[in-house]
Structure formats: structure tokens, C-alpha cells
Amino acid sequence: MKKITYKGKRVCMLMDFSFRKLINNRLKKGEELLWQTELC
């Protein structure tokens, strides 16, 4: 599983539904929780 990391908490402001949907479509369902956890 790849860990997706971003600089700062600025990305948290972008975590609206459409943004999460776009990213999650590129990830396996098993990685969705990892994505949301690592972000903030």
C-alpha cells in the first residue's frame, strides 16, 4: 500500500466530497481509510 502524504494541513480544506471521491476512485477501497487518516 502506498502512503499518500501532503505538506501541511492545507489539504484538509480541500477534503470536500468531490475531492475525496476523485482521489478514492484512484485508490483501492482498502486504502481509503489510510488516505483519510494520514491526511490531517
pLDDT of residue 23: 73
Confidence of residue 34 (pLDDT cuts 50, 70, 90): low
d(CA 7, CA 1): 20
- Residues 19, 12: contact at Cβ < 8 Å? no
- Return the pLDDT at 38: 54
The DSSP result for the chain, as a single string, is -PPP--SSSGGGGG-SHHHHHHHHTTS-GGGHHHHHHHH-
Condensed to tens digits (0 to 9), the pLDDT of residues 3-32 reads: 555 555 555 555 566 777 777 777 666 566
Cell numbers given for 22: 476523485
N- to C-terminal Cα separation, the chain: 18
pLDDT of residue 15: 59
Instruction: Kindly report the pTM of this predicted structure.
Output: 0.26
